Structure 1
């Protein structure tokens, strides 16, 4: 299970990130300023750091330089949305640049992408009686393998990484298919119905009125 360091001075945002990552199976520690984050990063027990640019003490760019010396990948998570800021962050060595406010599903997808790049992604995901291997793109239920189409598997991973979160149909479509969901399209609903039957999620993958769907699991 990957360990993630959150360097963020605003407690509500840090808690939102922590809960989002914890719900997807990650272990997280929080540092409210750059100096504390550097102390934690120096322990060598982290696989990824999510760093705000505007931190008290050592700022995000100083922390990025320190993490680079530790071979610790960094994703900037910041309110600074100007193109020049994004370019500076990426040129400085950040693996990605996420602008606040962010969508939880997008944050998880970007975290997973960076962890895969550094070969530190979770080997398997298990929830609600289903286990999935993102690298092998295989899924199992009750000890037997479940045959899923590529889109059904992507949809499965999306729900496994966002337990108990209400996901909008637009978000689901963007994350699984890319682009924007056409008005009146039933693509998402059809695939959710098929996935629900294949993995036995009839009682826990629920429709959320005027929103989309939520995978309900005990917390």
Structure 2
């Protein structure tokens, strides 16, 4: 997974972001002001920076101008169109307005890492291997035939591993906002994935809610 620097001066928000990113396998460092972010990036390479704009002493825009070339998502309470345009014009990869849902942040992080080609294209767990670029799944080194929607659902579970997802959220992420079917579709596809990929012990049922890929 990726190495991510979180630059956020509100400690509770910083810790919440860190816990959620670590839960899906990312390595995270946290700093709380702009100069510390620059110092940290002088000492180590990271795959992505989550950068608050309203920071002590040096704002996020000023920090970004000194760290160009590193994929960056601005996190900010400033929701005006002018602020968004400024952030994206400077070259940021994305702009997320507070308050935001952690699932949305995880999805945007995944999207940026995929675009910048710094995220791993292969996921391995037990005897399972998932190759995202070729959309192929292997169990014990043997190719397993998955339907396009089975693969989409598996990808959502992998990208949000260790997070409980409701059936409605799984429909939204794997089938799309405009899907008109019901949540029983999720149950059917989950059962197929469990059987095909020998994941009965990994894809957990969350009582009265949905499912979680446990790693």
TM-score, scaled to structure 1: 0.87
Q: CA deviation at 1:182?
A: 4.3
Residue-by-residue CA offset, 1:59-91 (whole Å, 9 max, x unaligned): 1111111121xx111101223333333222212
Distance, in Å, in 1 between the alignment partners of 2:157 and 2:59 is 34
Question: Match for residue 108 of structure 2?
Answer: 110
1:78 corresponds to 2:76: yes
- Alignment-derived partner of residue 195 in structure 1: 193
Shift, 1:169, TM fit: 2.1
Deviation larger for 54-63 or 183-192: 183-192
| Equivalent residue number for residue 134 of structure 1 | 132
Q: Give 1:128 shift.
A: 5.0
CA RMSD of superposed structures (Å): 2.1
SS at match of 2:177: coil
Distance 1:140 1:214 in 2: 20
Q: 2:161 aligns with which of 156, 163, 184?
A: 163
Residues 185 and 214 of structure 1: is their aligned pair in 2 closer, same or farther, counting only changes over 3 Å?
Answer: closer
The one of 116, 120, 127 equivalent to 2:118 is: 120
Contact residue 106 and residue 175 of structure 1 kept, 8 A: no
Q: CA deviation at 1:44?
A: 4.9
Partner of 2:54: 54
Distance of 1:170 and 1:61 partners within structure 2: 37
Which residue is 1:42 aligned to? 42
Contact 1:8–1:30 (8 Å) recurs in 2: yes
Task: Report deviation, 1:167.
Answer: 0.8
- Unmatched 5+ residue regions in structure 1? none
The list of structure 1 runs, each at least 4 consecutive aligned residues, that deviate by more than 6 angstroms after superposition, is none
The match for 1:146 is: 144
Checking the alignment, whether the CA contact within 8 Å between 2:168 and 2:183 is kept in structure 1 is no
The offset of 1:171, in angstroms, is 2.1
Give SS of 1:42's match.
helix
| Aligned twin of 2:209 | 211
Q: Are residue 17 (structure 1) and residue 17 (structure 2) matched? A: yes
- Compute the TM-score of the two structures, normalised by the length of structure 2: 0.89
Q: Give, in whole Å, the separation in 2 of the partners of 1:170 and 1:216.
A: 19
Secondary structure of residue in 2 paired with 1:135 = coil
Secondary structure of the corresponding residue to residue 67 of structure 2: helix
The alpha-carbon deviation at position 42 of structure 1 amounts to 2.4
Return 98-107 or 31-40, whichever deviates more. Answer: 98-107
